[in-house]
Structure 1
Amino acid sequence: MSDEYPLRPFLPADAMALRDLFAQSIDELTVDDYDEDQRIAWAASAEDAAEFRSRLGQALTLVVQLDGEYLGFGSLKDNKTIDMLYVHPDYAGEGVGTALAEALEKIARARGAEAVTVDASDTAVPFFERRGYVATQRNSVPRDDQWLSNTTMIKRLAESPTKKPSKPS
């Protein structure tokens, strides 16, 4: 499935378009789980363009761009945490998020991570559950004068290819 979408590393020039995608994704895809004030506060976390660009640049961020159009992006922080995973509303449910999640999980495994965690929005919990993530705790995150709920989830990865299974003695 991920072959359908070309993945590439984030470039600083992507920041403004990804900021728009981030806000649009929150505004349109999370309506059933967060009220308008919560969505506005959440999207406002990307208002500082330099800070948003820096956040994307400090993580391993992959971008899906097809024919000049941004379809989604995902970031892996510390080789073991999916920090951000956002899909343009026009492409939700078409495998973009799956392609990004698969790639980030594969990179984490290759870099020696035994598990990947994510703080999933209420909207994203079913997506991550389908990928084998298990909820470990609920969180309330302050954003401006709003509180947003999310769920910390973890997925155990298959043993990394660099580790040889220990032989029984």
Structure 2
Amino acid sequence: MGQTMPKPGLRPFLPADTPVCAAIYEASIAELTGDDYTEAQQEAWIAAIGEDDFAARLGKQLTLIATLQETPVGFASLKGKDHIDLLFVHPSAIGQGVASSLCDALEKLAGARGATKLTAEVSDTAHRFFTKRGYVAQQRNTVPLGDEWLGHTTMQKTLGETPKGAPQ
């Protein structure tokens, strides 16, 4: 008989979580985005957020920490009532429902805050994940980070709609 994977736990961000969130952010970019971004782009992306700025950014938003067996393995933040600002999962936790649990929670919280649509600036690596969740590409963007330019897509989801092909 197969062993079931534990469901990720969610809890609010605490300032003491900043170092582990920074490590998840860095590992996620370094290990998961290589098919979509060059090494120089990855390094610029990682360097874009200093730890003090990172702590302030996470602290100003509704930020959730995902855990597996009490260990933080991912985080996501809701900026305002209708924008997913950050969503990162440690490479060791990919495929265990962490991103889905974080996204489910942010979508519910956004709806509870009165949002009818939710937007996100989605990396090329995360594009397929968001598409499967019912997000639709709105526009392609390119942003400067240091000496590099990174492409991403603004995506939007109307809350309350079930994505095509998703279980009802």
- Structure 2 length as normaliser, TM-score? 0.90
Give the C-alpha shift of residue 62 in structure 1. 0.1
Give 1:44-59 correspondences, 5 Å limit.
Answer: 44-46=47-49, 48-59=50-61
CA offset digits 1:63-115 (Å, max 9, x no partner) = 01234422100000011000000000011122100000000000000110000
Matches within 5 A, 1:71-150: 71-150=73-152
Number of residues of Structure 1 aligned to a counterpart in Structure 2: 156
Amino acid at match of 1:38: Q
Could you list the runs of 4 or more consecutive aligned residues of structure 1 that deviate by over 3 angstroms after TM superposition? none
Cα deviation 1:34-66 (Å, max 9, x = unaligned): 0000000001112x2111000000110000123
- The CA RMSD over aligned residues, in Å, is 1.2
Q: Distance in 1 between matches of 2:66 and 2:15?
A: 15
Gaps of 5+ in 1: 160-169
The structure with more radius of gyration: 1
Instruction: Calculate percent identity across the aligned residue pairs.
Output: 51
Unaligned runs of 5+ in 2: 1-5, 162-168
TM-score where L is the length of structure 1: 0.89
Secondary structure at the residue paired with 2:19? Answer: helix
* Matched residue, 1:153: 155
Conservation of the 8 A alpha-carbon contact between 2:75 and 2:88: yes
Alignment of 1:16 with 2:40, yes or no, is no
Residue equivalent to 1:167 = none
